[in-house]
Chain A
Amino acid sequence: MSAEPTAETLSRPPTTSGEAVAVHGVTRRFGDVVALDDVSLDVGPGEIVGLLGPNGAGKSTLLSLVSGQRRPDTGTVRLFGGDPRDARSRTRLGVTPQETGLPPTLRVGEVADFVGGHFPDPVPTPELLEQFGLTDLARKQTGALSGGQKRRLAIALSLVGRPRVVLLDEPTTGLDVSARQALWDAIRQYHAGGGTVLLTSHYLEEVQALARRVVVIDRGAVRADDSLDAVLRRVALRRVVLTAPADLSTWAGVVRSRPVDGAPPERQELFTPDADVLVRDLVVSDVEFRDLEIRGASLEEAFAEMVAPESTPESTPESSPSIEGAVR
């Protein structure tokens, strides 16, 4: 992290309306599907907030409300105190287009000119392209760009209007490590200059690299809203797989367990915040086990833990409902 939150807050005093983004009691339905259920979220100027959640959790719907593309069924959404559906409120907002959404026949420079032309004081296109290493591609049609180049352009487009808030929807999904690092640096640089960032991701790693504060969304509701460290402690589980005759699901430190699909019943999958402690305990207690495997739990696996059991019937992405239900 290159940014210092205290310095930013000093250099850019809060606006009179306070929050950069204020979402209060918002519900949005699409037919029978409740995409957001009574969601509230405030983002102060200069904050960098990660919206974390599995695919389909409601993250993008929330961003589309903040960017004025949709209206909430109930509740209010405010951008610097204004209604984001009013075009004037959006002059200080930057949004990334989806990578696949660039008009394929237009050239890189033309798209930057077009988007920049909507803002009163845009970054001049040559300067913008230079900053994102796109200068050589200025005359190339966007349809001919690689995935990484499209992402770079998408993020450049979100910053062309010198916004005070940017919404980044899955900014680096599917990029290789170096491309991802370069974009993360650009986002950090923007934030260091006082910008407010609201980004979504279903990768813990990305949120971890950028955000200070993390809001966990699942099935349309906010499940956690806390500092990065606090959320990491809750979702950064280790997955321990081993074969043992004894049922270890109630062992101390095991937050959740399930049998492994297609394996004998002694094969167990345990989720724990600290795999070292668990394994040491098992060894010390002389528990018989073999074929030990340990890796970090995916976010989906971690979410199965965070989601309140009284909500709807189980549908964890990586396991069949029946098995989930049986274990619980």
Chain B
Amino acid sequence: MTTTTPAATPVVGPVRLTWLHLRFQFLETVRIPMAVLGNMLFPALAMFFFVVPQREVAENPAWATMAVAGLSFFAVCSASLFTYGLGVAEDRQLPFDPFVRSLPAGPGPRMVARIVNGAVFALFGLVPLVLVAWLFTSASVTGSQLLAGTGMILLGSVPFVLLGMAVGYSLTAKAALPVVQVILFPLAFAGGLFLPPMMFPPWLDAISQATPTRAGRDLLVQALTGEPAYGLAWPVLLGWTVLFAALAVGAYRRDEGRRFR
């Protein structure tokens, strides 16, 4: 696990460091059970109250699956933005943060561990949602579609994780909360996560196709149902990912902690 450096200093390898940070962050997250529970219950409850009662949606396999896709993607976007936007901003205010930065590890292992930890809990959050959909609606997927959907939802969450980090490293926790909300809800609506985009007027549909939420949602629907996404979905998703990555890295570099005395 050690590499040779010009100074011949043994260091702990990046994989082991990432695993270390992941274990540590996972423990920290589970120790606050309310946060985990809230994250798991919200999407399932939304499914139960907004989709299950509408029988024409719930009993149509394609529509029900699409609704599950929209809510799942919303749950993952929301978890990403809140975990990273708010979580990072809160962490930065803790005096433990500068200490961790003084340990012999670059920002890489910590950031990767954050992303993986977020993904793990986002997937946990989807379990009850998928259960509700499976029990109470006609939504159906094959095993391989489910696998493709899971992979796609993780890929689709990357730009939101990065955007959350950019917010978290730029703002205080108090400012991050409203900013995250202001970003999340319009994006979720415009991206067709609440109402299917077929119901949008053409002008809104055009705007919608430029959003990362719509691109992610359509690609997820494609993975789950086979209905093809619009042609620009991948470029749009990638473009936003690159932009948000640049913002996140810039914000991390600018952030040198808040206290100096």
Contacts and interface: CB of A to CB of B under 8 A. Distances in A.
Contacts of A114: 20, 23-24
A35 B214 CA distance: 48
Contact of B99 (A55, A95, A141, A161): A95
B95 A101 contact: yes
Interface in A53-98: 55-56, 60-61, 64, 67-71, 80-82, 87-93, 95-98
Contacts of A30: 260
A80 B6 CA distance: 13
Interface stretch (A40-48, A102-110, A234-242, A266-274): A102-110
Contact of A88 (B5, B94, B261): B5
A81 B160 CA distance: 40
Nearest to B103: A118
Interface stretch (B26-34, B76-84, B119-127): B26-34
A88 B104 CA distance: 6
A117 interface: yes
A61 B96 CA distance: 16
B104 A55 contact: no
Interface in A111-132: 114-115, 117-121
A98 B94 CA distance: 10
B12 A64 contact: no
Given A91-B11, A93-B104, A56 B261 contact: yes
A319 interface: no
Nearest to B256: A70
Contacts of A67: 102
Contacts of A121: 10
A117 B16 contact: yes
B2 interface: yes
B31 A106 contact: yes
Given A30-B260, A100-B95, A101-B94, A92 B28 contact: no
Contact of A98 (B31, B32, B99): B99
Contacts of A119: 12, 104
Contacts of A101: 94-99
Given A67-B102, A87-B104, A101-B94, A120 B31 contact: no
B199 interface: no
B92 to A, nearest CB: 12
Contacts of B5: 88
Given A103-B96, A114-B20, A120 B10 contact: yes
A114 B256 CA distance: 22
Interface in B1-53: 2, 5, 7, 9-12, 16-17, 20, 23-24, 27-28, 31-32
B24 A118 contact: no
Given A64-B260, A69-B98, A117-B16, A87 B11 contact: yes
B106 interface: yes
A102 B16 CA distance: 22
Interface string B78-119: 000000000000000011111101111110000000000000
Interface of A: 30, 35, 55-56, 60-61, 64, 67-71, 80-82, 87-93, 95-98, 100-103, 105-106, 110, 114-115, 117-121, 141, 161
- Nearest 10 CB-CB pairs, A to B? A101-B95, A105-B31, A97-B99, A67-B102, A90-B104, A120-B10, A101-B96, A98-B95, A117-B20, A91-B104
